[in-house]
Every structure is written in structure tokens, then in C-alpha cells.
Amino acid sequence: MSDKAEKSSMNRNTDKVQHDSVQHSKEFTIQEASTTENQQNQTQEAVGDSKPEDTKKTKKPKKSKRRRRTLLGRFLTSILNLLLILIVAIVLLFFYLLDTESGLRTIVNVANHYFPQYVSIHNAEGQLGKRFTLEDVTLNLPNYEPLEIPQLTLDWNYGQLLEMTVAINHLEVEGANLNFTPIEKIEKIEEASEPFSLKSLNIPINAEIKTIDITNSTLKVDDFYLAMNDIQLTNAKLEDNHVTIENTVGDLQALVGSDVDLPFVVALNGNVDIPTETFDLNLAIYAQEAFISGNELNLALNTEVKGELEKFTADLNGRVDWANFLNDPILLKVDNEVTGLSDIKSYLHLKNLSNQIMLNSEWSAQNPLNVDLDLKMNAPYLSQLHPDISGSLMGNIDLKGEVLKPILVADVNISNINAFGLQLQSLLLKANHEDYNADILLQLDRMRFDTIYLALLKLQFDGSLTDEFDLDLLVENLEQAKSAKEADQSVNKIEVANIKEPDGEIDETLTYQENKPMALLPADDRQVLVKKMEYKVTGKADSHHFNFDLDSIVGTIKSDGIASLTDVFTDPTFTLYLQNSVVSSDFVGDYKLNKPAYFYYRAKNNTISLSSACYEQGYIVFCAEGGRSIEGVNTAVITLNNLPSSLIDSYLPPDLSINTKANVTIAGQFTTEEDFVGVVNLALSKGDIRYRFQGREVLIPLDKTLLEVHALPEKVTSNLNVDWGKYLRVQGKGEMNDLFKENLVDASVVANIPSFDWVSPLMPVLQDLGGEVLLKGKVQGPVAHPKMGANFSIKDGHLYIASLNSRLKAINLDVALQEGTPEFFIKGSVGTNKGTLNLDGYYNIANFSTELNASGDDIQLADSRDIKVMISPKVQFTGKHSGNIQRYQLKGSILIPELYYMHTSMGGGGSVVKVSEDTVIVGDGYDQKRSESFMDNFSMDLNVILGNDILVGAEGLKAHLSGGLKVLKDYGSQPIRGLGVINVGQGEFDIYGQVLQLDRGKIQFSGASITNPALDIQASRQFMNEIEGRELRVGVKVLGSAEAPRVELYSSPTMTDIEIASYLFLGRGPNLGSAAENLMLLNMLRKIAMGEPVSSSDTSIASKVGLTDLGFMETPNGHIGVGLGKRFANSFYVGLGVGVEEGESAFALLRYSFLKYFNVNAAFMSEGESVNLNYSRDF
């Protein structure tokens, strides 16, 4: 191959190598060098194959080989390049988020998308690192309502963060609603913390705020509400832990519940240096037209707090004007100096136009019993401080040194006090105490509070506790009035009197309430609670004699003895020797201490000891003893033996008397409440209870009555045993475990009445009463929510009601409260002479729902001469609680197959009068207006069906009834309504001695009030017109309604009303020539027209003595007479009488009817006799 060809071939191979090198330069790898070297070798081999010998000649000199990098070096280079790229990306992202509006919105979108449970932002504008605005921001914090900020604007410079400084040019918050009231209260356990120190607040960053504006925003915590109308803060700075506030002004309004409405303006400025704990702060508060408890308040306060934390001053100056609470504005000045957060020096000056009070004091927490106090009071007119206070407060109190042994000078006079129901005529305090020597007088004259009056309280001490002293405490006439005295309406009024002087000038005189005398004696009847109580002590502290004398409403106490008080300031120890003591009372008698008793108390180790102190009266003994040991073991024993029941005789009703004695023992000991051990034993000795009722007496034997309670650290057990013979027996037991934790109870009781033969003598109407009555109860579980079960049962009961000739038998009733449920289940039956009444239902004590069902067939309730009743009921009574109202309903049906009832008058004028809704019942010491009645919450839907054997009678009426009635009532004050018809069948009606036969009758109930049905009743009687010799029929029709009945007379053939009345009341036609008879008949017609009763009754004298007529009757001459008559077998009549008109005399009548159409009338008079034979027939 020629040289040209070789060069051409070599050039092509070289181009190929260069092309491959360019392709691989994009991926810088460790294999690049070896690949290039291989390519060069291949090129050389290709050239050598074509012409080896020429290659050596044309081969250029070799370049020096490039030094190859190690694997580690190439890896580190790659890492550095990646870090550089990452830093650049972070810088670009940081710039994007802080300096672009898109970055701000990206942050908002991320927050809304990934953290919606914490934050929600509706819109954002601006740049996060410079100035931005957020709209409709909602923050959700756990256990709090959402915090809402409609608009927030922040102008700041994030570049200052590089210099550890937060620079805020402007912050604006508008319309924020911040509610920090926890949804669920969480009790936090307070942990011990270090004393407060400003130095501990090391803030590692500086801050500078030019302006902050908060407008139309609210803050709420519980019932505290703060409206931030406008708050402006300017030029606040935090630099090297030094805080400076140039000016802060706020327009605020605070609300606390419904009592406080406080709009106010506040201004704050000052500085705080944290490292040196120094501060200088000024706060001003100004409030106008604020209201507290309905009273207007205006105030202006300026406060200054200045100094170091270890020593600073806190001063306040201000003016308070509170309408209806302060009569005159008060000027207030308070200066405080606090050193070491423990020593306090205070100065208080309170004054108005008429009064001023000044107080200087020093106190140290390091020595709390050392006080330096100087109080000066010059307040002659307290009524000018507060409208509800009047009186005078004058005097000085100077107290220095230890409280137990101070230097004390006091001279205080308080007079004519009238404040908040308390009235005080005078209180005088004069005291001088120095070096244990004291002369103290405290005297209160005439005080009243509500219904309590006190005439005198006086305490006088003279001497030294380390030497001889006298102490006298006296109380006289502590009384209670029956009613509180009415408030004086002139209190706190200023009376102005203009007095003309001799020279003609007007002198204005002001009379305050304090200048008026006070009347502090009870104006009405009062009860003396304590007539006199005096306690006198004479001697030394370590040995002094005392006398105690009390005369009170419950009795008198007279005691004396010796007492000792030693080591008052180091180890106070008090010892008392009670030598004599007598207690006298009209309630319990006279008791005397049977032997001296000792009492010991040592304060240092808190030990107490009381020997047995026993008061006795005859066989009655009351004793008490106890103590507390050095180890802290407390013991006590109380016994009461042979306490007679006669002590309560005056409290018992006159028909009841108790004859027994009570014995009580209470003993126990404990160190803490968890290790208490005790016993209680209460027993009644054998005796009896006598009860007298309507001349009869029941004697209840008290064979055994015992209650025992035993307390141990792990549980408390109890037993109850009552045996009162055939009247009552009770057995009970119980225990309580897991004391002071769950307090688990397990108790049961069984009670029964063995016999009822004692009931009939008391209530004769209840005969042959018997059966077994048993009550069982059980309680289990924690005291807070125990499970209860109970069962009340009557087995094989029987009762005979003589007045109804009704015998109830096989009375079985079971009322069960299932354990752990709030429902009583009722099931039972009552047997009668015929038929059985079945009962079942329930009552829920949790929701007050109830249901009771009663059913039975042909139940005979009565079988006496006057009343026989048989019913077949199927009724249901239910009750449900709806809201705050209990609703009741009665529904079902009652079939009355048989009823015989003849009403017998009781002979007295009785009445049942409905009480109106606004009637006030007076009695038992209280007045109570009639509340919403049971009937307002009661509805009824009851069917009453009458059978075919119904006969009723009352007031001269006897009738058979049939039909049915639906009784309805809706909720509310609606009347009971009736719907149906009662048919009046065969019967008779006695009207003034004349018996009328019931022709027809109907009582129509059309859905209106059941007390006002429509009436349609007709009764008539057939008579013989002796003159005309024919029969006629007269009667009455009762029409209209029950509340407005209308009585009409009718006859066949038609006659006048006076003729009908004559036949109805006299049994014959009228004698128009007799004025007396016509007057009587007209009077009867008037009564009928006016609806007055004209009927007779089965209890009239005639019916009681077995006569047909007794009263007015017709004489043989056709005039009015008075007499008596008797009808036999409806066909024979005999009568005797005497005429009442002039010229009339005695007479006798005989009437006899025979052969249907014939009758004979015979009359025998002093004037002569007459006999008439009549034939009468209607055609």
C-alpha cells in the first residue's frame, strides 16, 4: 500500500477515535483513560498491519502519560459537585419562598393541603420575607374553639435575622376572634418550681418593633371577654436582654359575666433590664361610664413600679367614682416598698370630703408574727362613703412587735352603724399592752342583725398572763324576734334645715343619718335565747379559778373549777379541773356532775385527755371521755343509759304514748380516717306503744329493738333486729367494704306483719282482714351508684266489707324492683264472691313511666240490700314523662252486667264543691297556691257498657237503665266528655206523694261535657175523673240539658197546667173556689217553672212509716186537708185526715177498685157520710 493510502487509512481511523472520544466525554467515568489507550493501540495495530516497517519511520514521538486519579479522589469530587448543586438549589428555593408572591402562596397551599386540621388560610398576598397579608386565617388548637383572624399584615426584614435581630416595621391585626376557653376542663397538677428570677430569662435574640396595630379584635377565656377596639404599640425594642417600650395605648372593653362591663383606656411605657433585674414601668388606666353590678363606675388610676427585683416601689394614685356604691368620689393613694420579695412597707390613704383613713404598716415574711401597724381613722360620716352604710368610725390603733406580746395602744369608737342589715349602737375598744401587762376593754351596746338582738357584750381583761389577772366575759339578752324589722327608709338621707339668724342671715344646717338616734329594741314578740352568760377568771395563768354561768332558752348551766395555762410562748399547755357542774332544763330535767373531771391539752405535741365526765339524774346517766396520745391515736367513748321516752311525750299526738327507755353506746379510736375502729349500739328496753283511735286502743309490745354497727379499717358491718310482736318484725344486716375508695355496700332487710287481727277493732268497717305481708330489700355496689332490689308481697290476703256485704279473698300482690334496674314490676289478683280481678304492670322510677292493667269477668263488688254491683273491666292506665310534664292516660272498657243501687240519704246537707284554680289553701304554717292539677295532664278513652239488669233509685226515682257511654278527655284543662245514650226503661217517680210511672226516657251524650247531657224523660200517672166518670193521664216531661233542664206538664186529654198540677199533687181536679188551694197549686207551678225540686224521696216520713200519703190530701168536699193514707195491693185505699179551711172537720176515706172499670168511693165526716159507685172506660 502506498504512503498516501496509508495516511488516508490512518486518518480515517483517527477520525473514528476522535468521534468515539467526543461521545464519551459527556459521561465522565473512571474508564475514559483506558478506553482512549485501547483505541490508540488499535490504531497503531491497524497501521502496522498495512505497513509495519513504515510505521516506525512515520511514528511521532510519544507524549508523557497523564497521571491517573485514585478512586477515592474521584468519589469526593463527585460529592462536592453534588453539594454545590444542592446549595444552589436551596438558595434558589429560599429566595423563591421568601421573596416572591408565588412562594408565599405555595407555602399557604401546602399548609392548607397537608395540615388542614391545624390551619386554614383563605388568601395570601405579598412576599413572606418583606411584607405580606393573610386573609381569613383559622388556627385549630386541641381542646379549644377555632381561633379566627380575618386579616393579618406583617412588614419586616428577614435579612436582619443574620444579625440575630427580629426587625418588625409594622404588624397589623384586624377583627381577630381568639377564644381560649377550654372545651373540656383538665385539672393540672401544680409542680414545685424555683423562685421567680428575671435573670433566668436569657433571650438569645434581639428584636425591634416600630408599630403594632390591633383593631376590632376579641379575646375570651371562660366568662372573661376582652374587646380590643384599638391597640397601638410604637417603638418597642429588645436589645441585649434590655426591653424598652416607648408608648402603648389601648382602647379596650372588658366583660365578666353579666355583672361587669368595663370600657377603659390604658397607657403603658417603661423599660426592663433583665440581666440586672431592674425595671421602671408606668401604667395609666382611665374608665368612664363603666358598669359593675348595674352601677356606673368612673375611675382614673396611675401606677408606677420602679427599682430592682430585690428592692422596688409600687405606687398607685387615683380617683374612684362609683354611682350607687360611693356617695362621694374617693381619692386613693397607695405606696409600697418591697425588699427581697418578703419585706413590705405600705402606706394607704383613703379619703373623700367627709372621711379619711390612713394606714402605715411594715411586715416581713421572714418574721410573720412581728407587725408594725399604725391605723388612724377619722370617718364621722360613713354614709358619705357608701349609700348602704351609715355610722361613725373614729380612733387610732398602734401595734408594734410580736403579736403574742406586742406594744399595743388602741382607742376606737364605732357608733350608730347601719350596714347591710347590721345595726350597732356602740362599740368601744380601749387597749394598752406592753411587756405582758394589759388593760383591755371591749364593749358592745345594742346590736341587731336580721331578727337577732343583743343588748350587751363586754370583755374586760386586767393584769398579766405571767402574774395576777382578771378576765370577765359577759353577754346579756340575746333575743330573736318573730319577724325582721323593716328597713328605715330615711337611711343615708341628708336633711337640710335653713335657720334664719337674728341678723337676717340664713344658716344652713345639714343633718346626716349618723346624727339621728337608733331604736334597737324588738318591736314585736321575741324569744330570749340567752338571758345571761358570764365567764369569770381570777388568778394567774398557771393557776386560776373560773366560774361559768349560763341562763338560756334550753336551761341553765353552772360550773366552776380550776384551770392552768403554762408555757404560753414556748409550749402552751392548758389543764382544766371541772369541780362542780349542774345542768337544768325543762326538756331533760336536772343533771349533776357526779364526780370531778379533768381536761388536758398540750399544743406542742397536740395531745388531749378528757377523763370520764358523767352527768346523772336518778337512773339516767350520760358520760363522755376520750383523748389523743403522743402517737396521734384518738379515742372517744360516749354512753347514754336509761333515757326515758317520757322526754318526748310533749311532742307526740295525744292519742299516742310510748313507754320505753333508750340506751346508746358510741366508742371508737383512730389515727387517720383509714384506720378507724368503732362501735355503735342503740337499744330500746322492753316497753310498749299505745295508740287510741275512736275509743279503741291498740297496745304494741316493744319486745326487742336493737341496732348494732361495727367499724373496722377494712369494712363496716351492721345488724338490725326489731320484734314488736304480731305488729312488726324486721331483720336486717349489711356491710361496707373498700372504704374511702369505692365504698362497696352489701345490705339486706326483711320486714313482715305477722297478723292483722288488731286492725278490725280500730276500723270496724274492715272485718276479717288477714294474709301475709312481706317486704324484702337489697342494696349492693358502690355508694355513689348502688344496685337496689326490693320485693313487696301480699299472699293469701282476705277482707270482708260489711257495708257492701263484699268479701275479698285470695288477695295476692307482688311488687318487685329488679336488682340493677329502675323498674318496679307489679302482678297480682283479687278474688271476690264471684269473679277475680287480675292486675299487672310496671313503674319506672328513672323516667317516671308507668303502666297498670286491670281485667276480669263478672266480678261482684257488692251484694248488700241497697247496692249490688257486678262488673267486667278491661282497662289500662299508663304514664309517660314528656319533657318536664308527666302525661297519664286511661283507656279500655267496663261492662256492667248487673247493678242494683238504691241511694239512701245521709240526712245531712252535704255538698261537693269544686275548688277554683286560684284558691289558696291555708294551713300547716304555709300558704300554697293551687298548682297545675293532675287532670290537666290526664286523658281518657273509656267505654262503659250497661247490661240488661240495671236498676237505680234516688230521690223518689226508680228506673231500669240500658245503653252505653264513651267517656273521653283530652290533655289540658278540657272537661270530661261523654258520647252515647243511656236509655231509661221501666220505673217510677214519686212526686209529692204521687207515684208516676216512667213512660220513656233517654239521656243523650253528644260529645260535650259529661255533666251536661241532653234529657228527654217522661213520667205519668192515670187517674179517674169521678165527676165525668172517665180515666185521664197526667205527668211531666223533663227536657233540655242537665245544667238547664226544662220541666213541662202534660195530660191526656189536654188540660190546663193548674188542673194537671192538682192531679199530680192532690190526686184530683182543682177546686177553683178555694183560694188556699189555688195559691198552693200556683206555688207548685212556680217551682216547676223555676226548676226547683218538687219530688219526694224514699226517705220521706210517709215512706219510712210505711204509708202512701202523709201531708196534703183532698177532703171529701174537694178542699185541702192534712192527713195520712195507705194503699193495699193497688186496689184498696184507706185515709184519715182533717180539713184546713174554715168549716172543714175530720174525715175518713175508703176507695176500692174492682172489675177493671168500677170503683167505690166512701167518705165519713162529722157532717155525714157519702158512697159513690163509678164506672169509667175510655173509648
Q: Could you report the per-residue pLDDT of 1050-1069, keeping only the tens digit for each?
A: 888 888 888 888 777 777 77
* CA 920 – CA 525 distance, rounded (Å): 27
Query: Would residue 230 count as lying in a domain?
Result: no
The percent of residues above 70 in pLDDT, for the chain, comes to 78
Contact 398, 432 (CB under 8 A): no
Helices within 388-533 (DSSP H only): none
Q: Is 311 within a domain?
A: yes
- Quick one: pLDDT band at residue 583, thresholds 50, 70, 90? very high
Over residues 441-455, the mean pLDDT reads 91
| Residue 124 binned pLDDT confidence (cut-offs 50, 70, 90) | very high
Residue 901: the pLDDT is: 78
551 bridge partner residues: 532, 556
pLDDT of residue 913: 35
The pLDDT tens digits for 656-691 are: 899 999 999 999 999 987 889 999 999 999 999 998
Give residue 54's pLDDT.
44
Backbone angles phi, psi at 896, to 5 degrees: -115, 90
- Which of 513, 532, 553 marks a domain boundary? 553
One domain, residues 1110 and 1095: no
* Assigned domain for 607 exists: no
- Is residue 114 scored above 60 in pLDDT? yes
Tell me whether residue 217 is exposed, middle or buried, using C-beta atoms within 10 angstroms of its C-beta: 0 to 12, 13 to 18, 19 or more: buried
Nine-digit cell string for 780: 349492693
* Residues pairing with 624 in the sheet: 613, 638
Asked if residue 427 and residue 538 are part of one domain, the reply reads: yes
Give φ, ψ of 916 to 5 degrees. -70, 160
Do 1073 and 1158 sit in the same domain of this protein? no
The pLDDT score that the predictor gives to residue 98 is 83
Cα separation, 912 vs 1013, whole angstroms: 20
695: number of Cβ within 10 Å: 6
Q: Are residues 1018 and 1156 in the same domain?
A: no
- pLDDT band for position 565 (cuts 50, 70, 90): confident
Residue 261 pLDDT class (50, 70, 90 cuts): very high
Q: What is the pLDDT of residues 301-346, one digit of tens each?
A: 999 999 998 899 999 999 999 887 787 889 999 999 999 888 899 9
Phi, psi at 121, each rounded to 5° = -125, 125
**pLDDT band for position 35 (cuts 50, 70, 90):** very low
Q: Which domain holds residue 1169?
A: 1104-1179
Contact 887, 937 (CB under 8 A): yes
Q: In terms of pLDDT, which residue wins out, 150 or 845?
A: 150
pLDDT band at 1132 (very low <50, low <70, confident <90, very high): low
DSSP H or E segment with residue 80: helix 71-99
pLDDT in tens, 1100-1110: 444 544 456 65
Is pLDDT above 80 for 1140? no
pLDDT of residue 1115: 72
Is 635 a member of any domain?
no
Q: Record the pTM.
A: 0.54
Q: Do 369 and 386 belong to one domain?
A: no
Secondary structure string (H, E, C) spanning 855-901: ECCCEEEEECCCEEEEEEEEEEEEEEEECCEEEEEEEEEEEEEEEEE
| Residues 1082 and 1123 both lie in one domain | no
Residue 914 lies in a domain: no
What is the average pLDDT value for the chain, to the nearest integer? 80
- 1116 by Cβ neighbours in 10 Å (0-12 / 13-18 / 19+) ranks as buried
Q: What is the CA radius of gyration of the chain?
A: 55
| Peptide bond just before 1053 cis, omega within 30 deg | yes
Residue 1156 has a pLDDT of 55
pLDDT, average across residues 791-809: 87
Distance CA 1014, CA 124 (A): 84
CA distance 216 to 224: 17
How do residues 695-741 score in pLDDT, each as one tens digit? 778 889 999 999 999 999 889 999 999 999 988 999 999 999 988 78
Whether residues 440 and 333 share a domain: the answer is no
For 596, the grid coordinates are 370531778
Q: Are residues 545 and 450 in the same domain?
A: yes
Q: Report, as an integer, the average pLDDT of 766-786.
A: 87
Say if CB 994 and CB 1084 are below 8 A apart: no
Half-sphere exposure of 711 (CA within 13 A, CB side): 17
What percent of the chain shows pLDDT beyond 90? 37
Is 478 in the same domain as 357? no
163 vs 510, more confident: 163
Average pLDDT, integer, range 800-819 = 87
Q: Which segment of 41-55, 154-168, 204-218, 824-838 scores lowest on mean pLDDT?
A: 41-55
Q: Are 846 and 870 in contact (CB under 8 A)?
A: no
1129 and 1077 together in one domain: no
Q: Can you spell out the DSSP letters for 598-633?
A: EEEEETTTTEEEEEEEEEEETTEEEEEEEEE-TT--
946 in a structural domain = no
Q: Look at residue 19 and tell me whether its pLDDT is greater than 80.
A: no
Q: What is the pLDDT of residues 869-922, one digit of tens each?
A: 899 999 999 998 777 788 889 999 999 998 887 765 433 333 333 333 433 434
Quick check: 438 and 458 in contact, CB under 8 A? no
Please, are residues 370 and 364 in contact by the beta-carbon 8 Å criterion?
A: yes
**510, part of any domain:** yes
**3-class state of residue 78 by DSSP:** helix
What pLDDT is recorded for position 886?
A: 82
- Whether 1077 maps to a domain, the answer reads yes
- 490 band by pLDDT with thresholds 50, 70 and 90: very low
**CB neighbour list of residue 68: distance below 8 Å, 6 or more residues apart:** 33
- pLDDT score for 75: 74
Q: Which of 1044, 1076, 1099 is the last residue of a domain?
A: 1099
Secondary structure class of 199 (helix, strand, coil)? helix
Closest by CA to 762, choosing from 806, 812, 703, 700, is: 700
Kindly list the distances between the CA atom of residue 191 and the CA atoms of 167, 201, 1010, in Å, as whole numbers in the listed order.
37, 20, 76
One domain for residues 1055 and 1043: yes
How many Cβ atoms from other residues are within 10 Å of residue 1020's Cβ? 20
Of 997, 982, 895, nearest to 947 (Cα)? Answer: 895
Q: Quote the number of domains for the chain.
A: 5
Q: Is the domain of 1090 the same as that of 1110?
A: no
Picking from 1050, 1078, 1099, the residue at the C-terminal end of a domain is: 1099
H or E element, residue 566:
strand 555-566
What is the pLDDT at residue 522? 55
Confidence of residue 622 (pLDDT cuts 50, 70, 90): very high
